[in-house]
């Protein structure tokens, strides 16, 4: 244990590299992409620090070229889930006993490795496996993940420093113990940073973890485990398994030592897991912590005083960056009639210039959606809108799966504020707009607040300060992240703590102290320096 109260290095957000065409940084990244594209990587599970291969080799193909096989991963079964739980529990007491500075050092070193020697590798893996363009991968796999790692260390020390007051003659302290048992991280395909953050932030707080990444994010998940190993994470602290989600959840969530779920993904899956936890409540040694960040139907509300170019740009970037596959993506917009023709014209002009294709060509702004299911889902919404009497595809609407899963940026206009594409999460490059009469501003605010089950992100565009204040109040519970004159995507760790409520999650704000608090169980300690020797109150003589 340490003989000093040390301070961790001051933290600032990792600068986003510009990747200017022709620059050394873009050349280096694209060269790494091309090299990794050709390698037939074999990706084992990592249990107790050991590589685990099975006879079930699953082919990995890239969304931008579904016939291209860039490697394989080894799928496990329920025996591997048992092994992962066993390894986590075996690693627990040593990890728990290690001084916090050592835990901090491991994750700070991991941040440095990603910022330096692993930057191109983790970025290229994300581009190949998850089809992100150079900028989108840089803000996710490099910068956001680095920020999570560094800021969480800072938040941990701030938390540890929070101590109660002490009356005369006593000393009160609190300590932030890891949860008893093991934790379970289940992560989505769309953000490498999220998949890295969920298991690592629990481990940072002294917990041991079973981690099940999405089968569509296996390549960058492997790089995360490589980095953690090189950073010195002891064997068994984080165990990565590639197993069926539902079966794994059934097994893990029935275990008496299950202590906490850290989930990010769709609403339906999270609700299913919450129900399983409820059904098992009598089996556990402690009440498990449940944190889930889930789906969204994120709004852009536009006031007649808004700036047209700012609105159109916010919509184009908010809806179509990473093919709309951000939980925060702008997917419904409410635009006053007086501005609509102008906003539409600017959007059409911008969308016309968007290039679509593989991330290997950095000039492609839109890449492929993640898989066939997603492609078919988007196609369904577009085809039904084309046939609907109350909706119309007004921009885009093309799709092409001949090489990759490409869906063009699409705008649907509807006259029905409850039309399917304006209330359901699509998770693709499809924005639905509803045009309201300018005088119906207040009614439209109510519609934004009540027409979907979600409450994740949302934006108000207005120059009129009274209108901003009205929207701010009327939409108080309509989003967990609220933006004024900006797109509803792109939260930065340490700047806009991220998460939503209603059907969008437990709002425990990833990358903040609020989230880390969920992974500790506080013990209060009171020490009395001179203990009383008689039971009598002073007035009893």
Site membership for ligand A1AUG, residue 429 (CB under 6 A): no
Residue 534, phi then psi, degrees to nearest 5: -140, 140
**Nearest C-alpha neighbor of 183 from the set 75, 268, 277, 103:** 277
Q: In 131-266, where does DSSP find H-type helix?
A: 134-137, 145-161, 192-204, 218-231, 245-252
- For position 430 contacting ligand A1AUG by CB under 6 A, the verdict is no
Can residue 461 be called a binding residue for ligand NAD (CB under 6 A)? no
Burial of 540 (0-12, 13-18, 19+ CB in 10 A): exposed
Please state the closest distance from residue 512 (CB atom) to ligand A1AUG, in A.
12
Shortest distance, position 293 Cβ to ligand A1AUG, whole Å = 8
- Closer residue to ligand NAD in complex, CB, 294/479: 294
Give the binding-site size for ligand A1AUG (rule: CB under 6 A). Answer: 9
Q: Residue 433 Cβ, how far from ligand NAD at the closest point, in Å? A: 20
Q: Kindly tell me which residue out of 200, 294, 451, 489 binds ligand NAD, with binding defined by CB under 6 A.
A: 294
The answer to the question of residue 258 lying near ligand NAD (CB under 6 A) is no
DSSP symbols for 298-336: EEEEE-TTS-HHHHHHHHHHHHHGGGG-STT-EEEEEEE
Name the one range near ligand NAD by CB under 6 A: 213-221, 223-231, 341-349, 529-537.
213-221
What residues are annotated to the active site?
Answer: 293
Stretch that binds ligand A1AUG, among 36-44, 202-210, 326-334, 428-436 (CB under 6 A): 326-334
Q: How far apart are CA 244 and CA 143, in angstroms?
A: 30
Question: In the beta sheet, which residues pair with residue 334?
Answer: 301, 434
489 forms part of the interface with ligand A1AUG (CB under 6 A): yes
Judged by CB under 6 A, which of 145, 299, 334, 427 binds ligand NAD?
427
Question: Which tokens is 19 given?
Answer: 């990747």
CA atoms of 139 and 105, how far apart (whole Å): 23
Kindly tell me which residue out of 148, 176, 189, 419 binds ligand NAD, with binding defined by CB under 6 A.
189
314 lies in the site for ligand NAD, by CB under 6 A: no
Cα separation, 412 vs 390, in Å, equals 10
Residue 197 within binding range of ligand A1AUG, rule CB under 6 A: no
Minimum Å gap between C-beta 194 and ligand A1AUG is 6
- The C-alpha atoms of residue 142 and residue 140 are separated, in whole angstroms, by 6
The b-or-e profile of 355-386 (16+ CB within 10 A means b, else e) is: ebbbbbebebbbbbbbbeebbebbbebbeebe
For ligand NAD, the binding residues (CB under 6 A) are 186-191, 194, 212-215, 245-246, 249, 264-266, 269, 272-273, 293-296, 327, 425, 427, 456, 499-500, 504-505
Query: Which chain residues interact with ligand A1AUG by CB under 6 A?
Result: 190-191, 326-328, 489-491, 498
């Amino acid at each position: 244990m340490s003989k000093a109260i040390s301070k961790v290095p001051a933290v600032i957000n990792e600068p986003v590299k510009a990747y200017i065409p022709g620059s050394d940084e873009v050349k280096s990244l694209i060269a790494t992409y091309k090299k990794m594209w050709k390698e037939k990587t074999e990706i084992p599970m990592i249990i107790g620090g050991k590589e685990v291969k099975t006879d079930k080799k699953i082919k990995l193909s890239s969304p931008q070229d579904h016939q291209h096989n860039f490697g394989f991963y080894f799928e496990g079964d329920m025996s591997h889930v048992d092994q992962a739980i066993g390894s986590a529990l075996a690693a627990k007491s040593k990890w728990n006993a290690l001084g916090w500075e050592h835990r901090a050092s491991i994750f700070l070193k991991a941040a440095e490795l990603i910022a330096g020697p692993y930057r191109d590798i983790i970025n290229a893996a994300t581009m190949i496996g998850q089809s992100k363009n150079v900028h989108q991968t840089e803000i996710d796999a490099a910068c956001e993940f680095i920020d999570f790692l560094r800021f969480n260390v800072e938040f941990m020390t701030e938390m540890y420093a929070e101590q109660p007051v002490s009356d005369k003659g006593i000393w009160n302290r609190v300590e932030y113990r890891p949860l008893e048992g093991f934790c379970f991280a289940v992560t989505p395909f769309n953000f490498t940073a999220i998949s890295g953050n969920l298991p690592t932030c629990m481990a940072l707080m002294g917990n041991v973890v079973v981690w099940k990444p999405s089968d569509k994010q296996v390549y960058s998940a492997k790089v995360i485990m490589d980095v953690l190993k090189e950073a010195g994470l002891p064997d068994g602290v984080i165990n990565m398994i590639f197993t069926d989600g539902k079966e794994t959840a059934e097994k893990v969530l029935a275990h008496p030592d299950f202590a906490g779920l850290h989930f990010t993904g769709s609403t339906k899956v999270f609700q299913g897991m919450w129900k399983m936890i409820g059904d098992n409540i009598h089996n556990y040694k402690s009440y498990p912590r449940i944190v889930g960040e889930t789906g969204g139907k994120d709004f852009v509300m536009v006031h007649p005083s808004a700036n047209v170019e700012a609105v159109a740009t916010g919509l184009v970037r908010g809806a179509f960056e990473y093919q709309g596959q951000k939980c925060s993506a702008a997917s419904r917009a409410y635009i006053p009639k007086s501005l609509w023709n102008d906003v539409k014209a600017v959007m059409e002009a911008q969308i016309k210039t968007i290039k679509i294709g593989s991330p290997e060509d950095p000039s492609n702004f839109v890449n492929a959606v993640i898989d066939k299911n997603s492609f078919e889902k988007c196609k369904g919404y577009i085809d039904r809108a084309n046939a609907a009497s109350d909706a119309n595809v007004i921009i885009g609407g093309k799709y092409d799966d001949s090489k990759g899963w490409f869906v063009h940026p699409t705008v649907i206009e509807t006259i029905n504020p409850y039309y399917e594409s304006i209330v359901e999460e699509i998770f693709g490059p499809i924005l639905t707009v509803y045009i309201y009469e300018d005088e119906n501003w207040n009614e439209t605010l109510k519609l934004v607040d009540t027409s979907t089950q979600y409450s994740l992100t949302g934006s108000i565009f207005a120059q009129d300060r009274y209108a901003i204040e009205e929207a701010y109040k009327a939409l108080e519970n309509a989003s967990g992240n609220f933006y004024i004159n900006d797109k509803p995507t792109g939260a930065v760790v340490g700047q806009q703590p991220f998460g939503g409520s209603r059907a969008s999650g437990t709002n425990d704000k990833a990358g903040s102290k609020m989230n880390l608090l969920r992974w500790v169980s506080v013990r209060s300690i009171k020490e009395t320096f001179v203990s009383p020797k008689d039971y009598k109150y002073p007035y009893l003589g």
